[in-house]
Structures are given as C-alpha cells and as structure tokens.
C-alpha cells in the first residue's frame, strides 16, 4: 500500500521522535534535578521541540498524496522560523501567561539543524546497513 520511501522516511522520523522523548524525559527527571542552570531549565526543551515537530510534520506529509517533505537546510530553517515567530510573537498576544523570548527562536532554529543532521545521519546509516546485509545475503546483483 505504501511505498518503500514512505516506510523508510516514517521509520527514520519515528526513531528521531522516540530519541527526542527519551532526551526530554532525561532532562525533566534527571538534569533539572541536578542543576539550576538556565540552559537546562529554559532552552533544552525548546531545542527538542524542533526535531519533534519536524519529525511529526514529515510523517503527516508522507501520508499526503503529494511528495512533500520538510528537508534541506532552507526549508527546515524557514519552517522553524515561521513556527518560532508564531510561538514567540503571536502567542503572547492572545495568551497572557506566554512571554516572547528571542533566545527561544535561536533554540528552535538550532533544534531544526539538529533534526537535519540526525535525519541525514540515520539515512546514511540505514543505507549502509542495507548494502551490507544485501552483500552478505547471498543474492547476486542484477538478479
């Protein structure tokens, strides 16, 4: 039903989402208990928001009939810039408890870069493993 590319990209994005949740839990349950450093309390979760949102968005895009995805440095940074500006500029206008922080925007963009690096690294690893398994499976090329 779904193409090989669809399954491949969904799998990689799910791995990223699971890792983000694990790092989030580690930050919430361990790091924040060990230190009062502002970076741990204010910005790690903002950095983690970007890979989570990008992974989820790319899974949803993979479900669409169009061949769209948020990949490449430009699209990732543009997407996170738009989302970050909404969260940091528009949200405080209608939610009184929300405060805009320009450093949050930097954190979102950093998280977007981390997503891109992780996705590309996982893609290369997956392709490498498939080649190794194929070579050692006894199947001859061209058959």
Question: For residue range 22-49, what is the model confidence (pLDDT) as tens digits?
Answer: 999 999 999 999 999 999 999 999 999 9
CA distances to 94, 97, 130, 135 from 139, in Å: 61, 61, 13, 7
> Using CA atoms, how far apart are residues 50 and 142, in angstroms rounded to an integer?
41
Give the residue extent of every domain in the chain.
4-134
For the chain, give the mean pLDDT: 90
> What is the predicted pLDDT for the residue at 139?
54
> What is the predicted pLDDT for the residue at 4?
72
> Using CA atoms, how far apart are residues 134 and 128, in angstroms rounded to an integer?
10
């Amino acid at each position: 039903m779904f193409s090989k590319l669809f399954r491949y990209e969904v799998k990689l994005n799910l791995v990223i989402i699971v890792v983000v949740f694990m790092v989030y839990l580690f930050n919430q349950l361990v790091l924040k208990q060990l230190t009062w450093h502002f970076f741990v309390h204010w910005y790690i979760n903002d950095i983690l928001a970007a890979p989570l949102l990008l992974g989820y968005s790319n899974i949803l895009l993979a479900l669409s009939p169009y061949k769209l995805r948020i990949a490449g440095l430009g699209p990732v940074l543009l997407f996170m810039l738009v989302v970050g500006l909404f969260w940091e500029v528009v949200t405080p206008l209608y939610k009184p408890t929300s405060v805009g922080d320009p450093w949050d925007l930097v954190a979102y963009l950093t998280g977007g870069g981390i997503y891109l690096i992780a996705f590309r690294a996982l893609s290369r690893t997956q392709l490498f493993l498939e080649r190794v398994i194929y070579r050692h499976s006894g199947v001859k090329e061209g058959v």
